[in-house]
Each structure stands twice: as C-alpha cells, then as structure tokens.
Amino acid sequence: MENTIESALKQAIQNALTVIGVPEESIPDIHLETPRDPSHGDASTSVAMQLARVLKKNPRAIAQEIVDSLETDPARVDAVEIAGPGFINFRYSNRYLFDELQSILQDKTTYGRTHSRKGQRILIEFVSANPTGPLTVGHGRNAVLGDTIARLLEWTGANVDREYYFNNAGRQMRLLGESLRARYLQELGETVDLPDDGYEGAYITDIAKNWLTEDGGQHRDANSITPFKERAETAIFEEIRATLRRMKIEMDSFFNEHTLYESGAIDRVVETFRKKGLAYDHDGAVWFKTTEFGKEKDTVLIKSSGEPTYRLPDIAYHADKLDRGYDLCIDIFGADHIDTYPDVLSGLKVLGYDPERVDVLVYQFVTLVKDGKPYKMSTRKANFVTLDELMDEVGEDVTRFFFLMRSPNTHLEFDVAKAKEAGDKNPVFYLQYAHARIHSILRKVEELGGLSGKPALERLTHPSEIALIKTLLAFPGAVELAAAHQEPHRLINYLNECASGFTSFYHDCRILLEDVELMQARGNLAAACAAVLANGLGILGISAPERM
C-alpha cells in the first residue's frame, strides 16, 4: 500500500499557497519532516520560512496565512499548529492511525511496497569479479550492497535486473590456465613450476584433482592452454554461483566482455571518438581527450601494446546497457574505481547517451578485525579470506547484515568477535530476537483465545502504543528513503527503532490480560510489528525466525 497522508498534506499546502497568491514559479518544493520531539507533532514543514524572502513578509505571518487557507481531512489530521520562527506542524488523528494499523494487519507480507518507480526498468551491475578465483571478503560488500539495493528498488515498484560483468580473456586468464596445467601435471607426478605471477591458491589444486578424477590424465600432453583455462573458468564460476546462492543472491544475466570485441562495439566507440575529434594517436597509443571534460590530462584508451585500458570496454558496455532500454543503470564499484568512472560517463556523452541514466555507487573497502587487530581466519586459499570462510565462521545472516550496517561511503571494519556473539548484543540477533519474541507472545495469545479478526484498536491509547503505531506507519517511507539514497543502512536504523519501540510498548503495556478485548488489540499491534520486522529483514536478505 502507499502511505499517502504526506502526499495529501503536500497537495493541501500547495493549494493553500495558490489561494494566498504565491506565484506558481515561486512555490518551492514542499518537504515534510518528522520532528525529533514528538510533542511537536507528527509532520512539519518549513515552507513559510522558505517564502519569507520571496514574499517579503515575516515567516510566522506567512505560516498563519497558509494555515488559514489549509483544507485538511479531519479524519486524518487532528490539529495544525505554528511553532518557532514559522514551522507548520501537523498532528495525525488516532482514527487515521488505527485505520493504517488495520492496513498493516491486512497487507502483512506486502506492507511497505510502494509504486513510485512502477514501470521503470533498472539494471544493477555488481560483483563482476573475473573468474580467476573464489569470491573474497573484498567482494562481499559489493555483492550484498548490489543485491539489497535491487531489493529496495523492487519494493518501490521497479523492474530490476541483476547483471554480472566479467572478462575471460587476457593475461590473467592465460595465467589461470597455465597455473591449472602446472598443478594438473604435478598431481601426475611431474616436476613443473607454476608460471611467474601464477595463481597459488589451493583451489587450483582442488580443480586439478577433481579433473584428474574425471579424465584420468587425458590432458597430460595437451599443447594448448585453452582446455585448462576453460576448465578453471567453469569450476570457478560454479563456486562463485554457489557462494552467491548461499548469500541469497541470484544473478539474472552474466555479460562477457569479449562479446563487445566480437560485435565490433569497441571499434565503433573509437571510430566515433575519432570522427568527433576526441581521440588521437600519440606515442603508439590511442588517447581520449578527457581534457575537454575538465580533466587535467588526456586519458589512454589503447596502450602502445595494443591492449585497451579498462575505460574503453566499459564505455562500450554501458552503451550496450542503455541500448537495451533500461531507464537507469546502477554500478556498484569499489573505491579504486573513483578515478575511472567519470571517463566512462564522458565517453557515453560523446556517443550521444544521457549520462544521467547511469548512477555509480562507490563504496569503501572492508577490513576484518578481531580485538581491534586485522584478523585472518585461514591461509587455506592463499593470501585472502573467502566469503565462504567468513560465512562458515559467523553465518550467512550475520555476514549480510554486517556488510550493510554502515553507510557505503564509510570504511567498514568487520568485527569478527562481535559478529560471533550469540546474544542480543549482536545487532542482527537483536532484530531477529525481537521478531521471535513477538511470535512467542502471539502463541500465548492464541492459547488464550487468539487474535480477533476485527480488533478494537481504539483501545490502544497508551503513549507507548501510539508511538509504536506511528513508527510502524513510517515503514513505507523508510523503504523509499533507503532506495532513493541507495543506502540500506537507513533501513537497518529504522528497524532498530521498531524493535526499540516494541520493547518500550511491551515494558509499559501488558499483553496477556484477562481483558480479552484489550489483549487482542495489543496482540494485533504486536503482530503488525512482527510483519514490519519480517518485511524489513526480508529486504535486507536476512531471515526472520519465529523461534530462537
């Protein structure tokens, strides 16, 4: 359902401004904020202060004119007040709160879904690790951010596709094939060294052993590196897919960079740049005139060796995305891409695309720590910790949650000791325990007669009850805000408010009562809270257990 009281209030304010004679071009965007102090009401706008300079009037006088001309629904709004230098505060009616609470109870698993992005096609590219090894902790934040942002956008009505972009050509893939051949021959008893800069992880030996079990050494005398490269790629992609599934991530498509060369897309980009005078040859390399877009230096597109830099296939790839008809393409990149993606956007503009249709989220990197020190769990797979090893250590839910609990633009210290705590001091268990505790209470309510289909919600008059209802009704807005800013941690902050609000309600208001009507009303409020917690945890990709 849509939480429309805000839009109704904005429209009422807009109408009032027209009535008092504010020119249409002078009417600012109208914003409603939730006051930090509940005594100030449920929603507030500063529009009167925004108009003071335009109308050359005292903002409180403007606020009074607006209030005098406002037409609000008395079934939704109890009072409109002017406060401070000219804030206009709104107080919602209990009738409205109870009607909306009933909507939560009716919608349950769909409550919080909105339609603000209905009809939009959005492509999110994330993970995009080349198939040279298992996914590591370094890939984890990327993976979980991309998937959760996709879930948030889906909850706001968008049609979202998840795409994994990879390159299975070039030097690194050749080294991968040579590394597998060396391990394969070593398993057959031959004395063979790994290539310089080859892949030393034990996973290469595992692939070799599994292949030997199947083929019995048939590739001992193979002259070509191709079968080794293909075998390694297939095995590693199987492991990558399994790791993603374990994290509840399913990709809709995998895009191979090589197809851009096969289709001629790479050559067409360079040809277009040359025709527009924005590409030139120098010192055997091909350069992109990025100084035309504000950079201090031009940028190499193709090295003197003939090998393209990352920017060139990335420009062609993003053009391909937009050619597929997506309204918005979102990239989830690590901080090491911060200097490269502006060149891609400039390249798209040269090709005639709107760079506003590409949105880049740059996140900071992750450090595993324990007792305040860098923490390494094993050396089984060379010099990195895999995502599977991390999930083995702390669990899938905790892994996802900890990757999401901080703003993407801040460095994340993943505290392994805190993640392994079993009690409600662990932030993910705090939310899961709240959900499980509510279901424990509801089972007892069921034993005493169950929840009424038509509960007397008007019996909910205690301040803690009203406060919890208001918090629950903020869920659709919280989802919208987290989706708009592409910041899942905002939803976590909101869910913590829900859990805290339930704790206050449970402390102040007994649920299991001889007064059956009041017990049912409070039981339904608890059930609504459980529904919101379950929906929010579901968006985060985290389970909501009913027993713990």
What CA–CA distances, in Å, run from 414 to 85, 312, 424? 44, 35, 18
What are phi and psi for residue 259, nearest 5 degrees?
-65, -25
Q: Is 5-92 in CATH node 3.30.1360.70?
A: yes
Q: What is the DSSP string of 425-489?
A: TSHHHHHHHHHHHHHHHHHHHHHTT---SS--GGG--SHHHHHHHHHHHTHHHHHHHHHHHT-TH
Q: What is the pLDDT of residue 36?
A: 85
Q: What is the pLDDT of residue 338?
A: 87
First and final C-alpha spacing in the chain: 30
Residue 71: other Cβ atoms inside 10 A: 9
Q: What is the pLDDT of residue 6?
A: 87
Q: What is the pLDDT of residue 226?
A: 95
Q: What is the pLDDT of residue 382?
A: 61
Is the pTM for the entire model greater than 0.85? yes
User: Domain-by-domain residue ranges, the chain?
Assistant: 5-92, 171-246, 257-355, 424-539
Q: Look up tokens 């995502």; give the residue.
A: 387
- d(CA 526, CA 498) in angstroms, rounded, equals 11
Q: Which two tokens stand for residue 161?
A: 């596709």
DSSP state of 247: T
* C-alpha dihedral sign at 71, 77, 79, 80: negative
Residue 468: CA count within 13 A, CB half-sphere? 30
Residue range 424-539, CATH number: 1.10.730.10
Each of the 548 residues of the chain gets a pLDDT tens digit; together they read 344 788 889 999 999 999 999 998 989 999 999 888 888 899 999 999 999 999 999 999 999 999 999 999 998 999 999 999 999 999 999 999 999 999 999 999 999 999 999 999 999 999 999 999 999 998 999 999 999 999 999 999 999 999 999 999 888 899 999 999 999 999 999 999 999 989 988 999 999 999 999 999 999 999 899 999 999 999 999 999 999 999 999 999 999 999 999 999 999 999 999 999 999 999 999 999 999 999 999 999 999 999 999 999 999 999 999 999 999 999 999 998 888 899 999 999 999 999 999 999 999 999 999 778 887 654 444 667 899 999 999 999 999 999 999 999 999 999 999 999 888 889 999 999 999 999 999 999 999 988 877 899 999 999 999 999 999 999 999 999 999 999 999 999 999 999 999 999 999 999 999 999 999 999 999 999 999 999 999 999 999 999 99
Q: What is the pLDDT of residue 377?
A: 54
The 3-state DSSP class for residue 346 equals helix
Q: What is the pLDDT of residue 374?
A: 81
The total number of residues written for the chain in this structure: 548
Q: Are 548 and 436 in contact (CB under 8 A)?
A: yes
What are phi and psi for residue 379, nearest 5 degrees?
-115, 20
